[in-house]
Structure 1
Amino acid sequence: MAKEAFFKYIKPAPETQKVTSRDGCIYMYRLMKFIGWIPPKTGPIFLRGLYYFYSVLTYTLGVVYLPLGFALSYIKEFDNFTPDEFLTSLQVAINTFGGTVKCSITYINLWRLRKVEIILNELDKRIETDVARKKMHESISLSNYIFLIFTILYNGYAGSTFLSYLASGRPPWSLYNPLIDWHESLLNLVVQATFEYIVMTFAVIQHQLSDTYLVVFIILIRGHFNLLMDRVQNLRTDPSKTDEENYEDLVNCVKDHKKILECCKILRPMISGTIFVQFGLIGSVLGLTLINIFFFSNLWRGMACCLFVVAVLSETFPFCYNCNLLIDECQELGVRIFQSNWTDAPARYKSTLIQFMHHVQQPIMFIAGGIIPITMNSNITVAKFAFSIITIVKEMNLAEQFK
């Protein structure tokens, strides 16, 4: 029963069940609460204080200590690294430095997510038919399903790296730890590896949240946008409605479109910073990881690196793909407005429709750092840098020199 209750949110709810857009964020908010990002508003002062202490601890370990630990390990123990250990550490370190910025941006702007929720709740009230309710339930379940996949993928990388390196007698990420010398005994190695795994787990969860909130919300926004397109297509198709009622339906569609634009406007600064950081890192991180796989890793470490490659690609690909779909849907909305039943409508209706059609011609786009359009083309372009790094390594025979 507990298993069914946990996984029920990845399946579309029955049409008779009332579900809100917020249910599409339920796994995300649970994980935020687990990592210490959503403190309780009520309860005993002692427990609330304990939660705040836990929040500071997880944030300090995952966002402050982890990048600092990588940097100090390169300064203090660089001579002790083997090539594959150094690349495994460096590929994660670079991603961690960027992740620190992304997590900070996400945590500071959590209020934006709450504000968007309020608008989505207003859009939920516009869902009246079973067909529309079914479509929205599918969007809600899809957002939860994707978040669960991200959770498995990110934590799968951390777990596989921990086990593969511990089995080979090395700590997984070689973080600097002045309190323990893992070379002295097997117990010290296990303690060091376990400590690194705990720190990395905190960081992985925080990075996952900063990478997935935008995918979750754009799926929900696209769900409401598709319902808006259906409502536009059905304008003036009910013969029982008067001209005034038809005009009211059109005005409601205009209001829905404005609410969707408002959601995007609220999220835009948050998304811009997050994706800009990731675009700046993805090429170099992928390049180092692929070099590690091709030239230095054994089977098990290579599998862990492959999971890392998938995780890095997942940081941008799903959102960029959904951005492309949203741009296409904006164009489709304009077509549906033009093809709706307006030819014999009153002058006031036609005037409002023309204004509406004019406004929707501007597609909904997100810009990374105010410079790079967030699209699949941009994602592919920045990822290509990885192959440039591999080409340089092969041409200069750097892999053999490191060996």
Structure 2
Amino acid sequence: MKISLVVDVEEELEELNTHSAVSYHWRVWELMGLIQPPGMSRQQFLIRSILINVLVTFLFPLTLLANLFFTNSLKELFENLTITITDMVANLKFINVFLVRRQLREIQGILWVLDKRAKTVHNEQELRVLRQSVRIAQSSFRTFAGIFVFGTTLSCIRVAIARHRQLLYPAWFGVDWQCSDVAYWIINVYQLFGLIVQAMQDCANDSYPPAYLSILTGHMRALELRVRRIGYPEPDPMSHILYNRAKYQQSVYLQLSECIEDYINILRLHAIIQEILSVACMAQFVCSAAVQCTVAMHFLYVVDSNDLSTMILSLVFFIAVTLEVFIICYFGDRMRTQSEALLDAFYACNWMDQMPQFKRNLIITLMRTQRPSLICAGGYISVTLETFVQVNRLTYSVFTLLLRAK
């Protein structure tokens, strides 16, 4: 029994890989032509990348944007704006991932170093925290995937039960698809393909910020547990004849030095995550505020026409964009709270009876930990739950003005 328990622990240590929290995202980025998959030639990768991004990333939103010039009513305008704004911002976030792919590689290297340190320490509570952060990150991806699958399925059902011919989403193609069976089916097949590709892109774009924040928070929590144990328990001088206090203090000093090195790696990880999430979070805030307003106005017009399927689709859009901002702000708030707990951990370690070098290094570290770790959208707006409330208040104010204009 004891032997099998040891084997299980060793297997868990081997399997610890916090970068697996974004394994789904990397797979999507490889399929979408942002990152070259291992084993694929450069030529094959470029051909697939160009085809997918020209046919979908560029052409799909272009058809939506062109259709805005052919709207005949405010109802159609708000419906088209909802889809167009969402798709345009999603493509901007997708391009941002391409621009920060080098930083994504750096994060992978830092996580490997932090994982190696966790395996060396071999504390079950720390390992449990890290494994949980991976599960939470993967769950966020699956949550967004479920939302996009539901929305895509609902669009298909809406087209199938419609009394008259209509597309999955309002778009302009320059052909009379109402009178041509071939054109109608080709366009719908293209839209379905584009919708699936865009849904995969959006799922990765919207879920990778909380995934990276979950990983960062998990490593902060593991370091907090590690720091709190520094100097505890202090050995009893009477329990062993060979007890040497100077040797014990040197050992504790080395523990602190290793924890400071871990903290420096976490600060590097935080700086890179801040760099890759700044634009993405800002785009998400702007998109959510704009889409919430347009969806709300569209819903009011749809209620008047008693179009149940369109009403449900509008509600799905509204809930989805609101949930996207909430999840990002929630994980950003968790990280801020955890950074404050890490500061408390440095105060809580057994520092009083340690050597002067220990206290000097601890004071220097405390000076840095006084500043809580935050992720700022656009470099200015903190990604916290307070920001989520402010965004919703701003959206409601703008919606009130639009409602009066109606």
How far has the Cα of 1:83 moved from its partner?
4.9
| Aligned partner of 1:274 among 277, 280, 284 | 280
Conserved 8 A contact 2:297-2:403: no
Does 1:23 find its partner at 2:13?
no
Q: Distance in 2 between matches of 1:270 and 1:31?
A: 17
Aligned residue in 2 for 1:255: 261
Conserved 8 A contact 1:337-1:357: yes
Deviations 1:65-93 (A, max 9, x none): 12321221122x323xx654442221010
How far has the Cα of 1:171 moved from its partner?
0.9
Further displaced range: 162-171 or 122-131: 162-171
Residue type of the partner of 1:332?
A
Further displaced range: 118-127 or 158-167: 158-167
Conserved 8 A contact 1:285-1:386: no
How far has the Cα of 1:16 moved from its partner?
5.9
Aligned residue in 2 for 1:184: 179
Aligned residue in 2 for 1:130: 124
How far has the Cα of 1:167 moved from its partner?
2.4
Aligned residue in 1 for 2:7: none
Aligned residue in 1 for 2:231: 236
Alignment of 1:348-359 (within 5 A): 348-359=357-368
How far has the Cα of 1:159 moved from its partner?
2.6
Residue type of the partner of 2:64?
F
Aligned residue in 2 for 1:171: 167
| Aligned partner of 1:390 among 368, 384, 399 | 399
Structure 2 residue ranges without an equivalent (≥5) = 1-9, 236-246
Q: Distance in 1 between matches of 2:222 and 2:173?
A: 54
Q: Distance in 2 between matches of 1:152 and 1:290?
A: 23
Q: Distance in 1 between matches of 2:21 and 2:379?
A: 29
Deviations 1:269-313 (A, max 9, x none): 221111112222221211111222233052222222222222212
How far has the Cα of 1:341 moved from its partner?
1.4
Residue type of the partner of 2:48?
Y
Residue type of the partner of 1:97?
M
Further displaced range: 224-233 or 285-294: 285-294
How far has the Cα of 1:62 moved from its partner?
3.2
How far has the Cα of 1:395 moved from its partner?
2.4
Q: Distance in 1 between matches of 2:403 and 2:124?
A: 59
How far has the Cα of 1:41 moved from its partner?
4.7
Deviations 1:98-139 (A, max 9, x none): 222221111111121111111011111122122221221111
Aligned residue in 2 for 1:35: 32
Deviations 1:36-84 (A, max 9, x none): 22223545x5xx5344222112222333212321221122x323xx654
Aligned residue in 1 for 2:348: 339
Q: Distance in 2 between matches of 1:252 and 1:334?
A: 16
Conserved 8 A contact 1:175-1:196: no
Give the SS at the match of 1:125.
Answer: helix
Residue type of the partner of 1:366?
I
Further displaced range: 63-72 or 186-195: 186-195
Q: Distance in 2 between matches of 1:306 and 1:61?
A: 29
Conserved 8 A contact 1:24-1:216: yes
Does 1:146 find its partner at 2:140?
yes
Identity %: 20
Q: Distance in 2 between matches of 1:334 and 1:293?
A: 47
Alignment of 1:87-102 (within 5 A): 87-102=78-93
Aligned residue in 1 for 2:295: 289
Q: Distance in 1 between matches of 2:16 and 2:220?
A: 17
TM-score by length of 1: 0.87
Does 1:197 find its partner at 2:213?
no
TM-score by length of 2: 0.86
Q: How many residues align?
A: 378
Aligned residue in 1 for 2:67: 73
Q: Distance in 1 between matches of 2:140 and 2:396?
A: 28
Conserved 8 A contact 1:284-1:385: no
Q: Distance in 1 between matches of 2:16 and 2:210?
A: 19
How far has the Cα of 1:319 moved from its partner?
1.7
Q: Distance in 1 between matches of 2:131 and 2:380?
A: 35
Does 1:380 find its partner at 2:373?
no
Q: Distance in 2 between matches of 1:57 and 1:290?
A: 36
Q: Distance in 1 between matches of 2:189 and 2:77?
A: 19
| Change in 2 beyond 3 A, CA 1:195/1:84 | farther
Aligned residue in 1 for 2:218: 223
Give the SS at the match of 1:384.
Answer: helix
Conserved 8 A contact 1:27-1:148: no
Conserved 8 A contact 2:216-2:335: no
How far has the Cα of 1:238 moved from its partner?
3.8
Q: Distance in 2 between matches of 1:106 and 1:97?
A: 14
How far has the Cα of 1:21 moved from its partner?
1.0
Deviations 1:228-273 (A, max 9, x none): 0001111111445821111111111111111111012122222111
Q: Distance in 2 between matches of 1:341 and 1:41?
A: 48
